[in-house]
Chains A and B, each alone.
Chain A
Amino acid sequence: MPRIPPLLACAALLLAAGPARSADAVSDGVVKIGVLTDMTGFYSDLAGPGSVLAAQMAVADFGGSVLGKPIALISADHQNKPDVASNTARRWFDQEQVDVIVDLVNSGTAQAVMPLAAEKKRITLLSGPATTKFTGEACTAYNVHYTYDNWALANGTGREVVKDGGDTWFFITADYVFGKSLEEDTSKVVKAAGGKVLGSARHPQSSTDFSSYLLQAQASGAKIIGLANAGADTVNCIKQAKEFGITPRQSLAGLLVFISDVNALGLDTAKGMYLTTAFYWDLNDDTRKWSRRFFEKHGKMPTMVHAGVYSAVMHYLEAVKAAGTDAADAVMAKMKATPVNDFFARGGHIGPDGLHRHDMYLVRVKTPQESKYPWDYYQIVKTIPAAEAFPSVEAQGCPLVKK
Chain B
Amino acid sequence: MTRYQKKLRMRHFYNQAFKILLFIVIALSLIVLITLLFDIFKKGFQTLTWDFLTSMPSGRATRAGILPSLVGSLVLIALTALISIPLGVGTAIYLELYANKRSRFFKLLQLNIANLAGVPSIVYGILGLAIFSQLLKLGPSLIVGSITLSLLILPVIIVSSSEAIKAVPSSIIDGSYALGVTRWKTITGVILPMALPGIMTGSILALSRAMGEAAPLIMVGAVGFVTFLPDNLLSRYSALPLIVFNWTSRPQAAFAQIAASGIMVMMIILLITNLTAIIIRNKTQSRID
Partners in one complex: no
Residues of B within 8 A of A (CB): none
Residues of A within 8 A of B (CB): none
